[in-house]
Amino acid sequence: MNLTKLPGTMTINTEDHLTIGGIDTVLLADKYQTPLFVYDIALIRERCREFKETFERKQINAQVAYASKAFSCLAIYQLMAQEGMSLDVVSGGELYTAIQAGFPSEKIHFHGNNKTMTEINAALDYQIGCFVVDNFNELNLLNQLASKKEVIVKILLRVTPGVEAHTHNYISTGQEDSKFGFDLMNGQAEQAAIQAIEMSNVDLIGLHSHIGSQIFESDGFLMAIDKLLSKTIDWQNTFGFKLSVLNLGGGFGIRYTEEDQPLAIPELMESIIDEVILKTTELGVEMPEIWLEPGRSLVGDAGTTLYETGSQKEVPNVRNYLAVDGGMSDNIRPALYDAKYTGVLANRVTEQPTETYSIAGKCCESGDMLIWDLPLPKVQEANILAVFSTGAYGYSMASNYNRIPRPAVVFVENSTDFLAIRRETYVDVMQLDIPFPTE
């Protein structure tokens, strides 16, 4: 970790401890115990503003929706509402939490490839702003349910434009093998648009595409924009389709380790915006609103996990394992995606590394590893290990595997700490269990 480029409000204090939001993380670990997720709220606010201000500067009508699957809880929804964001939810549970948080329902967008009747009815009752319709079953069901409630709902069609974006490259495919959305190239999307326009209780306002995640460059987005706008002009001419909203999804990359060099958000956004302006002008399509749906890039590097180090195992001439008091139960990404992280000892940040440790979780899986080959100073007793950039898809994918209680989540800002999610207890972990009947 390049300690001169720490994200957000992170600093190193005179005791050589890592601080976040003006608070010593060693004190946080002591106060709230470990594992502990610590969120740098000022950094999240800064990221939200970066997105919104870039649109404002370029004078584009826009919505920036926080893709809340990255990290969802009451307090983060309230923070996003404060920042004037819109919100993506993908399930009844996320929707319920957002409503409980007082999130303005007209700014909620409902995603998902298998929305149930119950979920759709709930969303209709809450009068959410928009449904992102994924498939024909949903289109028909939504129209039917909206008709029963005598409402007309705004929809976008989720389309797969045949662009697959990865961190450093993108692939253009004629047809996309994905469980999500209507295929743009084989005529499905067109069929869906024609049907939607004919339906009485849905109002088709535009198209949505989400091409991937942890994307560092703009090429994939530009390619998707070209494909979507070319179809738009065809459809406009043949059946009167009007694109009021172009939703380009999320996927903006963040820095997990030194190797990651994502484009800055304003830079990436500018090339996206410029391409939409260029293409619409060229084709004679009216300039639509642009919607984006960042998840990881809003909360990812604002999150840090603090663990306490525990046992060690030396495999002579191979490696040294250093275990921590969490693992795949609070961060499954290394096991699931081979995701890379880095970290430091929060209580000895700048001390010269003399050892190389592979950081193991405490779950009963050989794959439960958090970081391979991390240079650290020699660890002899319990230390606090800070793992960086764990704010997205960490807590939200946490589980009770091995009946490990899920960690606490604390928000820090301006030297104040706020417990956003309390640590689970063994009682919490057991609370759904029903004892086996005895004779």
Ligand X SMILES: *Cc1c(COP(=O)(O)O)cnc(C)c1O
CA distances from 3 to 6, 7, 18, 19, 192 (A): 6, 9, 10, 12, 51
User: Is 170 among the annotated ligand-binding positions?
Assistant: no
Q: What letters, b where the CB count within 10 A reaches 16 and e where it falls short, cover 196-229?
A: beebebbebbbbbbbbbbbbbbbbbbbbbbbbbb
Q: Are 147 and 200 in contact (CB under 8 A)?
A: yes
Query: Catalytic positions, please?
Result: 364
Tell me the closest approach of the beta carbon of residue 350 to ligand X, in angstroms: 32
Whether residue 295 is annotated as binding a ligand: the answer is yes
Between 36 and 65, CB nearer to ligand X:
65
Shortest spacing between CB 244 and ligand X, in angstroms = 19
- Min dist CB 132 to ligand X, Å, is 7
**DSSP letter for each residue of 290-310:** EEE--SHHHHTTTEEEEEEEE
Give the residue among 228, 329, 303 at the shortest CA–CA distance from 8: 303
Burial of 377 (0-12, 13-18, 19+ CB in 10 A): middle
Provide the 3-class DSSP secondary structure of residue 360: strand
Residue with the CB atom nearest ligand X in the bound state:
295
Determine whether the annotation assigns residue 393 to a binding site: yes
| Neighbour count for residue 130 (Cβ, 10 Å) | 27
Residue with Cβ nearer ligand X (245 or 376): 245
Q: Is 39 annotated as a binding residue?
A: no
In the complex, least distance from residue 252 CB atom to ligand X, rounded to whole angstroms: 6
In the block, tokens 């069609």 appear at 157
Q: Which is nearer to ligand X, 161 or 249 (CB)?
A: 249
Residue 47, CA distances (Å) to 11, 56, 265, 302, 393 in order: 19, 14, 8, 9, 17
* Residue 276: CB minimum distance to ligand X, A: 17
Nearer to ligand X, 223 or 359 (CB): 223
The nearest distance, CB 67 to ligand X, in angstroms, is 3
CB of 163 to ligand X, least distance (A): 14
* Min CB(391)–ligand X separation in Å: 10
> Is 288 within any annotated ligand binding site?
no
Q: Which is nearer to ligand X, 112 or 404 (CB)?
A: 112
Q: Is 52 left (phi over 0), alpha (psi -120 to 50) or beta?
A: alpha
* Residues that bind ligand X in the complex, under the rule CB under 6 A: 67, 69-70, 88, 111, 210, 213, 249-252, 293-297, 392
Q: Is 249 annotated as a binding residue?
A: no
Judged by beta carbon, residue 236 or residue 396, the one nearer ligand X is 396
With CA atoms as reference, report the closest residue to 214 among 178, 183, 249.
249
Counts of helices then strands in the chain (DSSP H, E): 12, 23
**Residues across the chain:** 439
Dump the DSSP string for 139-184: HHHHHHHHHHTT--EEEEEEEE-SEEE-SS-EEE-SS---SSSEES
Of residues 327 and 394, the one with the C-beta less far from ligand X: 394
Q: Is 333 annotated as a binding residue?
A: yes
5-26: burial string, b at 16+ Cβ within 10 Å, e else: ebbbbbeeeeeebbbbbebbbb
Q: Which is nearer to ligand X, 233 or 397 (CB)?
A: 397
Other Cβ atoms closer than 10 A to 339: 18
Cα separation of the two ends of the chain:
60
| 8 A C-beta contact, residue 80 and residue 294 | no
Residue ranges for the binding site? 251, 293-296, 333, 337, 365, 393
Which residues are annotated as part of the binding site for pyridoxal 5'-phosphate?
251, 293-296, 393
Please enumerate, by residue number, every residue annotated as part of a binding site for substrate: 296, 333, 337, 365, 393
